[in-house]
Structure 1
Amino acid sequence: MYGSDILSGTARRRRPEVPVVDAERDLVVEDAESGFCGAVVGFDRSYDGEFVKLEDRHGRVRLFAMTPSAFLIDGSPVTLRKPAPAARRGPAVTASGSRKVEGLRARTARAGRIWVEGIHDAALVEKIWGHDLRVEGVVVEPLHGIDDLAALVAEFGPTPSARLGVLVDHLVEGSKESRIVAGLGQNVLVTGHPYVDIWQAVKPSAVGIREWPVVPRGEDWKTGICRRLGWGEPADGFRRVLASVSSYRDIEPALLGAVERLVDFVTEPT
Structure 2
Amino acid sequence: MKKLLTPLVLLGLVSGCVTTQSPTGRSQTLLFSAAEMNQLGAASFEEMKKQQKISKDTKLNAYVSCVAMRVTAALPDQTQGWEVVVFDSPQVNAFALPGGHIGVYSGLLKVAENQDQLAVVLGHEVAHVLAQHSNEQVSRTQLTNTGLQLADVALGAGGVSNRNLYMAALGLGTQVGYILPYGRAQESEADVMGLELMARAGFDPRAGTLLWQNMAKAGGDQGPELLSTHPSHGTRIAELARLEQKVMPLYEAARASGVKNCQITK
TM-score calculated relative to the size of structure 1: 0.25
Q: Which has the higher strand share?
A: 1
TM-score calculated relative to the size of structure 2: 0.25
Q: Which has the higher contact order (CA 8 A, sep 6+)?
A: 2
